[in-house]
Amino acid sequence: GLCALPSGNHFASCGVDGSLRVWNSRFKALEAKFQFSSKQTSLAVSDSGGLLALGSSEGVLRMFSIVDGGAGEPCLCFRARLHEAPISLLAFSPSGLQLAS
């Protein structure tokens, strides 16, 4: 998965290698990396830019708080196994208060 962060200079990516990465597109540099034991299959950012959602092949949902539009390192604020199957799509509501998985 790939999504642009609200700063305009950052984006996040996730993949089958189990990683979540935050990139600075302006400087073409990796700014943060998280490694997980399972494949990461989906990614979404709230319109307000305060939350980043990450879904895994094991049905685990992780939520990260992001500051400065993605310029700071994300902080894990929620983790739960919500599904028995992989999470293939994540989407925030326009208000950013609800997340569909």
Q: Give residue 27's pLDDT.
A: 93
- pLDDT at site 69: 63
Q: Is the pLDDT of residue 14 over 90?
A: yes
Task: Retrieve residue 68's tokens.
Answer: 């400065």
Instruction: State the Cα–Cα distance between residues 35 and 39, nearest whole angstrom.
Output: 10
Non-local (6+) Cβ contacts of 44 within 8 A are 1, 3, 52, 53, 90, 91, 92, 99
Spatial distance between the Cα atoms of 3 and 23, rounded to a whole number of angstroms: 10
The string of pLDDT tens digits covering residues 29-87 is: 999 999 999 999 999 999 887 899 999 999 999 999 988 766 678 899 999 999 999 99
Round the CA-based radius of gyration of the chain to a whole number and report it: 12
pLDDT tens, position by position, 72-92: 788 999 999 999 999 999 999
